[in-house]
Amino acid sequence: MSLVILLSIAFSCYNLITAAQPPFKQSEASALCNSGWWPPSVTGNTALPYYAWPGVWCDTSRSVKEIDLTHRIGGNLSNMNFSLLPNLTYLQLVHTEMAGVIPLQICTLSRLTYLDLSNNSLAGKLPPCVQNLISLEVLRIDHNQISGSIPPKLGNLERLTNLYLQFNALSGVVPLTIGRLHNLQSLLCSSNDLGGSIPLELENLTKLNVVDLSCNNFIGPIPSFIGNLTSLTRLYLQENKFGGFIPPEIGNLMNLTILNLQRNKLNGSIPLEIGDLRNLEFLDLSLNNLVGKIPLELGKLIKMRAVDLSSNVFTGPLPSSIWNLTSLNSLSLQVNKFSGSISSAIDNLEYLIELNLSENRFDGAIPSEIGNLWGLEILDLSSNNFVGKIPVELESLRWLSQLDLHNNSLFGSIPALNSNSLLYRLNLSYNYLKGPIPKNLVAAFPDTAFIGNDDFRRSSVILHMTVFIPLAAVFISCIVIGSCFLFQRATKSMPIKTVQPETLEKNGNFLSIWNYDGKIAYEDIINATEDFDLKYCIGTGGYGSVYRARLPNGKVVALKKLHRLEAEDLSFDKSFRNEVKHLTEIRHRSIIKLHGFCLHRRCMFLIYEFMENGSLFCVLRDDIEAVELDWSKRVDLVQDTAHALSYMHHDCARPMVHRDISSNNILLNSKMQAFVSDFGTARLLDRDSSSNFTATIAGTYGYIAPELACTLIVNEKCDVYSFGVVAMETMIGEHPGDIVSTLLTSSGEDIMLHKILDPRLPFPRENSVARSIVLIVSLALACLSANPKS
């Protein structure tokens, strides 16, 4: 079989070469033909001259000038006879799954100005003969498995402006000859195995704009000549072994926007000159051994959006100037030895989203002005010496999702944080708090959120439970019970958060990210996933594949890469943007948070919060994880899902039907808490999304309401049916399949609960849990009624 195919390729190439149309470069045609880079459908099409092949551009004499392939080829780089392509100036083979080594023949391309072999599976070394590529301006071999050292002869490429070596297995040192690359603007070496110190020879490369040496084994001090590289806008030295102090000369880098020195061995204090970095937006000095006070001068950096000084040995009170950093989204000072009180001027930081001061020696009262930080989501003041009452003003923080005040000396009563349905993490333990715990907090948080305080009582209701459900109970309408018991209505119409999104629009790339600390760029995402390499893929669904990405700031997000069917359609892009903008405004503690999205001519993806434990579907099919998901977690899971659905159906500004509730779309975080994913995705990808009633089927087989399959009418009842399937599946540990119809038709008989519950878990002993299980099973059966009206 394979022999036949081989012969037919050879035959069509032969045809092509002999059936020449003048003027004709036979040598080039045979080089392209024999490379195996184009499929037989191209090479065998004799009507198509080689210079019209996809990805091939020729000069006026029809000699190959550019090759630009970005699709999957899976070929071998060595199969192209480069010496037959003397006029090639541009060679881009990105994400082609090309294997093999970089062939020596490539060095004959003396006219090549642009060589991009990134995102492939190339191994072996970077051959020293690259010095012959004397016209080269851009050299990209990043995201491969290239090993060995950086050849010193690279220094001969004096026209080089961009050198991208990141994400390979390069070792050794940065050769001194790098100092000869006077035109260099970008030097990216991140995530290799490089060592040694930064060579002095770098000092004259004053055109350098981006330097990224992060995630290597570099040692020695950060050289003071760094201050001569005045064009620098981004400097990434994190995750190395740099020691000594931060050179004061760094203050010369007036155009610097990002300075990341995280996780090194730096000591000494922050130089006062840092105050000269007027354009700085992102400063990360965390996880070093830095000491001393924060200099007053830091307060001059008014463009700053994220400051992370955590896990150092900083001391003293915060300088008053810090409250002048009015653009801050995130301030992380945890795990230091800061002292003093927090100024009431904190409410200058009106865009603050995250504040972590935990594990310091702060004292005094918690300023009530924190209540004015209307966008605050994370507030951690734990393990300090704060005294006084918890300000009632915290009640007005409607986006607050995490509040940790444990291990302080707070007294008085606990304010009712009840208007706040987004709060999902709360710890008030180890203080001197008193009085009743507000009811809603009792219901939502475990005892350990309140332990170690003075005299608290939690009321608990114990009810008797039977393991037999009389079937009559089942016929109560799902909706009715739902709104009485399971569905606790959240406050009506949430206001839209107006933090300005960071938007980048460039060369048809559109990236928009909301509410995110630190800069995050399209490149960061592509870098973090090695351009959506399969090894980062964590799941595939109807809409596309999901990838896990660790961003440069250390945060992990999930990327849903959507099938890009609508390329180049501007009206689609516009409706997509509107729709996705709307989705980012959904805020519910059990709905996965959408951080942003990207529209690009090559891909389109959504950026979500990452859920460590994957989907409910997978957890239930894994015997170990299924046991970890014990009864009380399962009850919570069903309840949270119900809350999320109720919110989307009834309580949010623009009600929305999910259309694809299934155990694949219920995701679990590290604590096995449930979050509904994919709200709105069906709509998003539906061209005709103006109407809910002309939907194509977006659901998953086995979860689709019977009436939808017949009539294609979408309304919230479809979600109710699918929810019933999921709830049942959660209780019995597998897709209910036929069990449901058996149960629904065995009218008049009692259902033996212990016969259907997931046998991998011990039978529920706690009464309250058992009671909830009975209720869930009966509700689930009611939801599964084939008649949508009931």
Ligand X SMILES: *[C@@H]1O[C@H](CO)[C@@H](O)[C@H](O)[C@H]1NC(C)=O
Rg of the chain on CA atoms, in Å: 31
| Cβ atoms 343, 369 nearer than 8 A | no
* Smallest gap from residue 187 Cβ to ligand X (A): 15
Of 407 and 664, nearer to ligand X (C-beta) is: 407
- Asked if residues 732 and 751 have their Cβ atoms less than 8 Å apart, the reply is no
CB of 476 to ligand X, least distance (A): 35
603 binds ligand X (CB under 6 A): no
C-beta closer to ligand X: residue 167 or 647? 167
Work out whether 39 is an interface residue with ligand X (CB under 6 A): no
State which residue, 125 or 581, has the beta carbon closest to ligand X: 125
Among 67, 526, 727, 732, binds ligand X (CB under 6 A): 526
Say whether the peptide bond before residue 764 is cis (omega within 30 degrees of 0): no
26 is a site residue for ligand X (CB under 6 A): no
320 binds ligand X (CB under 6 A): yes
Q: CA-CA distance, 200 to 218, in Å (whole number)?
A: 14
Contact 221, 240 (CB under 8 A): no
Is 383 a binding residue for ligand X by CB under 6 A? The answer is yes
Q: Is 522 exposed, middle or buried (0-12, 13-18, 19+ CB in 10 A)?
A: middle
List strand residue ranges (DSSP E) for 18-63, in order: 56-58
For tokens 């995110």, name the residue.
516
Which tokens belong to 578?
């509107």
CB 329 within 8 A of CB 304: no
DSSP letter string over 259-297?
EE--SSEE-S---GGGGG-TT--EEE--SS--EEPPPGG
**Closer CB to ligand X, residue 294 or residue 774?**
294
Two tokens, residue 302: 């008014």
Of 268, 267, 270, 311, nearest to 287 (Cα)?
A: 311
CA atoms of 782 and 724, how far apart (whole Å) = 8
The answer to whether 531 contacts ligand X (rule: CB under 6 A) is yes
Nearer residue to ligand X within complex by CB, 348 or 477: 348
Q: Tell whether residue 97 is a contact of ligand X (CB under 6 A).
A: no
Nearest residue to ligand X by CB is 243
Among 212, 239, 380, 660, binds ligand X (CB under 6 A): 380
Residues contacting 411, CB < 8 A, separation 6+: 387, 388, 389, 431, 432, 433, 434, 454
Is residue 316 at the binding interface for ligand X, with CB under 6 A as the rule? no
In terms of CB distance, is 218 or 430 closer to ligand X? 430
Q: Is 238 in the site for ligand X (CB under 6 A)?
A: no
Can you tell me which of 8, 59, 485, 750 binds ligand X, judged by CB under 6 A? 59
Residue 545 CB, nearest approach to ligand X (Å) = 14
- Which one of residues 44, 195, 196, 227 is an interface residue with ligand X (CB under 6 A)? 227
In the sheet where 337-340 sits, what is the strand order?
291-292, 313-316, 337-340, 361-365, 385-389, 409-413, 432-434
For the record, the structure tokens of 491 come out as 């406050």
Select from 156, 407, 512, 641 the one that contacts ligand X (CB under 6 A): 407
Asked if 430 is part of the footprint of ligand X (rule: CB under 6 A), the reply reads yes
Number of residues that bind ligand X (CB under 6 A): 64
Smallest gap from residue 743 Cβ to ligand X (A): 37
Own/partner long-range contacts of 16-25 (Cβ < 8 Å, ≥24 apart): 16/43, 16/46, 16/50, 19/46, 21/49, 23/61, 23/62, 24/62, 25/61, 25/62, 25/63, 25/64
Phi, psi (degrees; rounded to nearest 5) at 33: -65, -40
78 touching ligand X, by CB under 6 A: yes
DSSP 602: S
Q: Which of 273, 284, 308, 359 binds ligand X (CB under 6 A)?
A: 359
d(CA 169, CA 141): 11
Give CA–CA dist 790/788, Å, rounded: 6
Q: To the nearest whole angstrom, how small is the minimum distance from the Cβ of residue 579 to ligand X?
A: 26
Least distance (Å) from ligand X to the CB of residue 99?
4
Closest CA to 715 of 773, 781, 645: 645
- Which member of 145, 448, 503, 746 binds ligand X (CB under 6 A)? 448
660: annotated active-site residue: yes
Of 90, 91, 204, the closest CA to residue 158 belongs to: 204
Q: Which of 45, 255, 440, 692 binds ligand X (CB under 6 A)?
A: 255
Nearer to ligand X, 529 or 785 (CB): 529
Q: Is 168 in the site for ligand X (CB under 6 A)?
A: no
Cβ of residue 669: shortest distance to ligand X, in angstroms? 13
Interaction pattern, residues 699-718, with ligand X; x per rule: CB under 6 A = --------------------
Residue 262 or 663 with smaller CB distance to ligand X: 262
User: With binding defined as CB under 6 A, does residue 324 bind ligand X?
Assistant: yes
Give yes or no for residue 84 binding ligand X (CB under 6 A). yes
Is 81 one of the binding residues for ligand X (CB under 6 A)?
yes
CB of 779 to ligand X, least distance (A): 28
453 near ligand X, rule: CB under 6 A:
no
Give min distance, CB of 551 to ligand X, in A. Answer: 12
d(C-alpha 517, C-alpha 619), whole Å = 31
Tokens of 332: 């992380």
* Cβ at position 356, least distance to ligand X in Å: 4
Q: Closer to ligand X at the Cβ: 143 or 519?
A: 143
- By the rule CB under 6 A, 83 interacts with ligand X: yes
Q: How far is residue 588's CA from residue 679's CA, in Å, rounded to a whole number?
A: 11
Residue 556: phi and psi, rounded to 5, are -105, 135
Least separation in angstroms between residue 494's CB and ligand X is: 22
Distance of closest approach, residue 457 Cβ to ligand X, in angstroms = 18
Q: Residue 667 in 3-state DSSP?
A: strand
644 lies in the site for ligand X, by CB under 6 A: no
201 binds ligand X (CB under 6 A): yes
Task: Report how far residue 428's alpha carbon sits from residue 409's, in angstroms, rounded to the nearest whole number.
Answer: 10
Is there a contact between 398 and 375 (Cβ–Cβ < 8 Å)?
no
Q: Which is nearer to ligand X, 79 or 113 (CB)?
A: 79
The yes or no reply on residue 422 touching ligand X (CB under 6 A) is no
> Are 531 and 119 spatial neighbours (Cβ–Cβ below 8 Å)?
yes
Instruction: Check if the beta carbon of residue 316 is closer than 8 Å to that of residue 338.
Output: yes
Site for ligand X in 100-139 (CB under 6 A): 100, 116, 118-119
Catalytic residue selected from 380, 531, 660, 678:
660
List of residues 6+ apart from 52 with CB closer than 8 A:
none
Q: Closest CB to ligand X among 111 and 621?
A: 111
Tokens of 710: 């017949």
By the rule CB under 6 A, 523 interacts with ligand X: yes
Of 124 and 412, CB closest to ligand X: 124
Q: Is 378 near ligand X (CB under 6 A)?
A: yes
| 358 is a site residue for ligand X (CB under 6 A) | yes
DSSP 722: H
Selected from 260, 529, 590, 681, the binder of ligand X by CB under 6 A is 529
Using the contact rule CB under 6 A, the part of the chain among 125-133, 378-386, 748-756, 770-778 near ligand X is 378-386
Determine, following the binding rule CB under 6 A, whether residue 87 of this chain makes contact with ligand X.
yes
Strands, DSSP E only, in 537-679?
537-540, 544-550, 556-562, 594-599, 604-609, 666-668, 674-676
Distance CA 231, CA 247 (A): 17
Q: Which sequence positions are flagged as catalytic?
A: 660
Residues contributing to the site for ligand X (CB under 6 A): 59, 61, 63, 76, 78-79, 81, 83-84, 86-87, 94, 99-100, 116, 118-119, 143, 179, 200-201, 203-204, 225, 227-228, 230-231, 243-244, 249, 252, 255, 265, 267, 299, 310, 320-321, 324, 334-335, 356, 358-359, 378, 380, 383, 402, 404, 406-407, 427, 429-430, 446, 448-449, 523, 526-527, 529-531
